[in-house]
């Protein structure tokens, strides 16, 4: 592989005009496609294979036009102090608002509080239920605006009005902190390279790559049903890996220049060696992201595939556009150790023989591997302790900040009607095969009334055909509680006896039941997903390192870092530690998709550092150094760059902590802290300690497996042979 990539790097350097024009054309084409694409709403949401989804699908068939999975809103009214909602003036204001709410083109129905018995016992709180024809993710902004305006008119009449429900779901906002993250990345690059031009190359190529990826997602949003979160994730991952991949190739290019090679040769060798590591590092990230499809949640699959496509673009740009831009930059990109006149007075490289910080640190670890290993493992173990208290769930209005109207509506309904009123369960009774359908409906209602934690069971509401009915159940406890989850399982547990007695089928759905099913589906998929992703990446790393123990050590180190990161997420978002610093207004259960998402993304990113750092060690070992010396050599050439890459990635991910969307905020924090643990504790401390303890055994591979594996030559051994044989590639004097 190194030889092919070497030729690609030299070609891109020589034909820089063609390569640059090609990428600019692709960016322009993607931009035009995004600009001309029809405005896309938010993506639809479905969870195949769950009982809640089967019930929604059945309702679509048996209750045509009902829009069972359509968005809902509850407009909650509270009378002024000392008044009742039944007072004439307040009632007139509410009825006017109900009339306004029903005028929207996407509105399916509006329930009047006074005819629907939606006034609290003390008469101070009432609510109007609004049902839409489309889901909250597909609702037009004009419908949301009309909803807010109607509430505003009621407020003008002196009522307290708040709005809850998924109809207010909007696209996440990342805020200015994302820009700050990119600015920090720019500063780190300038410090690393000592040159504005060299620092600008990774930023430029990363922005171009993300621009192509996000523009393509925008252009395909409508036909592929992609949501706004998809492009946010692609931006997050694409920026981080795009900067890092370019950083490694530019750094290797400068190292090759420092060894006396001409610029075209240095570009070819940088792509042949560091580029090989980029390819395999990118493959691990792509495997991890595409592997999210095993969960069988379409939204998660689309997010993973779109982000994987952006990573693939980042790899291709690093392999082609970086050497092309290096050709344009010419002598403004200095050899390693030299500073530009602007930043360093044009001083020469560091004196030979003077060890850098990476060399000194690696030498210390090689001398005291047991101490470093124990400290690293114990430290990560302590950080992982909160993960034992991990509680999973999906956010509802009760998890919103208290400053939002959704949360205030949630609290008003809890005060007026009880905590469970915010999470009613929808029980669907399919009596098509029953001889006495009405008796089957009544039987189900009676069975549910006898269960614990039930406040209200509404009479069955059959469809026109009379073969299917809906029964609404209001629990005593709040939607996200374990008690409500137990009630859902208890109702479903009655299905067998109901079927035996009446030949009717019972299904439980609604937003609360859907959240429970999603959480269970994600939990069930975690271990198979972990086995698939880690297994494939393990095989890939065996090919890269031609070792059994090095990939095994890489996988175990990843597990330590991801557990520690989950512990940090629990401490901040569930326990509330440092919540003020992170602007977390409301603590609660960690989102169900967080563990499986972190496993996928963090594993891919963790393998980046493993490949970049350990490849240099193996390169030194293959070229004749003993294991301890190889560890030190790997750090001498890679530690500074890996450190810079980690800081950049942490800065980019931290930028998303400023998002208004709880999911994006949590993902940004989780990935940032995971990269910190993995790069600075696992890869910089535990990895060299383990390799020092293993010695030559670290690079052991059974002879039969060595013969069976393809030789991908990540170390660039073939380039060294070719250079010796080809006169026009001789080293030139510095």
For residue 124, the 8-state DSSP code is: S
> 18: Cβ–Cβ under 8 A, 6 or more apart, which residues?
none
Output the CA torsion 174→175→181→183 (10° steps): 140
Average pLDDT over residues 468-475: 92
Q: pLDDT value at position 722?
A: 53
> How far apart are the C-alpha atoms of 320 and 22, rounded to whole Å?
10
**Is the model more confident about 40 or about 272?**
272
Q: pLDDT value at position 341?
A: 53
Candidate ranges 38-42, 618-622, 630-634; pick with highest mean pLDDT:
630-634
Average pLDDT over residues 199-223: 86
> How far apart are the C-alpha atoms of 277 and 319, rounded to whole Å?
11
Q: pLDDT value at position 660?
A: 65
Average pLDDT over residues 353-369: 85
Closest by alpha carbon to 118, among 417, 427, 496, 549?
417
Q: Say if residue 353's pLDDT is above 60.
A: no
Q: Say if residue 734's pLDDT is above 60.
A: no
Please state, as a whole number, how many other Cβ atoms lie within 10 Å of the Cβ of residue 335. 19
Output the CA torsion 727→730→733→734 (10° steps): 150
pLDDT tens for each residue of 487-497: 999 999 999 99
Structure tokens at 550: 């090095």
Q: pLDDT value at position 173?
A: 53
Closest by alpha carbon to 311, among 276, 278, 340, 266?
278
Query: Assign residue 599 a region: left if phi > 0, alpha if psi is -120 to 50, beta otherwise?
Result: alpha
C-alpha distance across the termini of the chain, in Å: 28
Distances (CA, A) of 534 to 43, 594, 600: 30, 18, 9
At residue 732 the predicted structure's pLDDT band, cuts being 50, 70 and 90, is very low
- Using alpha carbons only, give the angle 376, 377, 383 rounded to the nearest 5 degrees: 90
> How far apart are the C-alpha atoms of 506 and 491, rounded to whole Å?
9
> How far apart are the C-alpha atoms of 170 and 566, rounded to whole Å?
27
* Residue given tokens 């090689």 in the structure block: 366
Q: pLDDT value at position 171?
A: 53
Q: pLDDT value at position 17?
A: 94
Assign 3-class secondary structure to 478-523: CCCCHHHHHHHHHHHHCHHHHHHHHCCEEEEECHHHHHHHHHHHHH
Q: Say if residue 723's pLDDT is above 80.
A: no
Distances (CA, A) of 193 to 334, 606, 616: 8, 23, 19
Q: pLDDT value at position 639?
A: 85
> How far apart are the C-alpha atoms of 610 and 147, rounded to whole Å?
52
pLDDT tens for each residue of 251-260: 889 888 888 8
Q: Say if residue 406's pLDDT is above 70.
A: yes
Average pLDDT of the chain?
A: 83
pLDDT tens for each residue of 541-562: 888 788 899 888 888 888 899 8
> How far apart are the C-alpha atoms of 718 and 279, rounded to whole Å?
17
**Is the model more confident about 116 or about 29?**
29
Q: pLDDT value at position 688?
A: 92
At residue 228 the predicted structure's pLDDT band, cuts being 50, 70 and 90, is low
């Amino acid at each position: 592989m190194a030889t092919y990539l070497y030729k690609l790097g030299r070609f891109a350097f020589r034909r820089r005009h063609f390569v640059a024009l090609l990428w600019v054309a692709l960016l322009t084409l993607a931009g035009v496609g995004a600009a001309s694409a029809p405005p896309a709403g938010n993506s639809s949401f479905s969870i195949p294979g769950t009982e809640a989804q089967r019930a929604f699908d059945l309702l679509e068939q048996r209750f045509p036009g009902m829009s069972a999975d359509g968005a809902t809103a509850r407009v909650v009214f509270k009378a002024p102090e000392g008044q009742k909602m039944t007072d004439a003036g307040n009632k007139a204001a509410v009825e006017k608002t109900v009339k306004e709410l029903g005028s929207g083109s996407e509105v399916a129905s509006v329930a009047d509080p006074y005819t629907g018995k939606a006034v609290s016992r003390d008469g101070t709180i009432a609510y109007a239920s609004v049902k839409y024809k489309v889901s909250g993710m597909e609702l037009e902004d004009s419908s949301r605006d009309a909803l807010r305006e109607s509430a505003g008119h009621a407020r003008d009449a002196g009522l307290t009005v708040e709005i809850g429900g998924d109809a207010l779901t909007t696209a996440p906002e990342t805020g200015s902190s994302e820009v700050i993250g990119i600015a920090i990345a720019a500063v780190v690059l300038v410090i690393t390279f000592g040159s504005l031009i060299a620092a600008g190359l990774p930023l430029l190529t990363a922005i171009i790559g993300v621009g192509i990826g996000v523009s393509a997602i925008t252009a395909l949003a409508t036909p592929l049903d992609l949501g706004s979160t998809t492009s946010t994730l692609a931006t997050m991952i694409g920026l981080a890996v795009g900067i890092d991949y370019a950083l490694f190739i530019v750094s290797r290019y400068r190292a090759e220049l420092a060894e006396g090679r001409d610029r075209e040769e240095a570009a070819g060798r940088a792509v042949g060696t560091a580029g090989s590591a980029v390819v395999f590092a990118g493959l691990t990230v792509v495997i991890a992201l595409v592997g999210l499809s095993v969960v069988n949640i379409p939204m998660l699959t689309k997010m993973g595939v779109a982000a994987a496509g952006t990573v693939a673009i980042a790899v291709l740009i690093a392999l082609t556009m970086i050497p092309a831009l290096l050709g344009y930059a010419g002598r403004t990109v200095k050899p390693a150790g030299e500073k530009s006149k602007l930043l360093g007075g044009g001083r020469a490289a560091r004196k030979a023989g003077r060890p850098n910080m990476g060399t000194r640190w690696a030498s210390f670890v090689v001398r005291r591997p047991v101490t470093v290993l124990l400290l690293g493992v114990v430290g990560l173990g302590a950080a992982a302790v909160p993960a034992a208290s991990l509680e999973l769930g999906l956010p509802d209005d009760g998890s919103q900040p208290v400053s939002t109207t959704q949360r205030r509506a949630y609290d008003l309904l809890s005060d007026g009607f009880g905590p469970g009123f915010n999470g009613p369960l929808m029980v669907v009774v399919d009596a098509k095969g029953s001889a006495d359908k009405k008796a089957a409906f009544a039987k189900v209602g009676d069975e549910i009334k006898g269960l614990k934690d039930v406040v209200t069971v509404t009479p069955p509401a059959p469809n026109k055909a009379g073969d299917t009915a809906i029964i609404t159940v209001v629990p005593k406890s709040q939607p996200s509680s374990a008690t409500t989850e137990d009630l859902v399982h208890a109702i479903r547990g009655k299905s067998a006896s109901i079927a035996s007695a009446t030949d009717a089928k019972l299904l439980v759905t609604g937003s609360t039941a859907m959240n429970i099913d999603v959480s269970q589906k994600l939990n069930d998929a975690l271990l198979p997903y972990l086995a698939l992703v880690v297994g494939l990446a393990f095989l890939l790393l065996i090919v890269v390192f031609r070792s059994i123990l090095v990939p095994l050590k890489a996988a175990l180190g990843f597990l330590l870092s991801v557990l520690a990161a989950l512990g940090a997420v629990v401490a901040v978002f569930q326990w509330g530690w440092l919540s003020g610093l992170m602007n977390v207004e409301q603590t609660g259960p960690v989102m169900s998709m967080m563990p499986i998402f972190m496993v996928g993304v963090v594993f891919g990113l963790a393998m980046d550092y493993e490949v970049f750092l350990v490849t240099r060690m193996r390169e030194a070992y293959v070229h004749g150094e003993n294991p301890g010396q190889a560890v030190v050599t790997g750090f001498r050439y890679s530690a500074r760059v890996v450190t810079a890459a980690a800081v950049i990635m942490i800065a980019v991910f931290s930028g998303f902590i400023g998002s208004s969307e709880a999911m994006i905020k949590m993902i940004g924090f989780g990935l940032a802290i995971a990269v910190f643990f993995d790069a600075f504790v696992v890869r910089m401390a535990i990895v060299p300690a383990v390799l020092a303890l293993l010695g030559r055994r670290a690079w052991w591979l059974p002879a039969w497996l060595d013969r069976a594996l393809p030789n991908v030559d990540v170390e660039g051994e073939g380039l060294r042979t070719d250079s010796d044989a080809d006169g026009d590639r001789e080293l030139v004097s510095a």
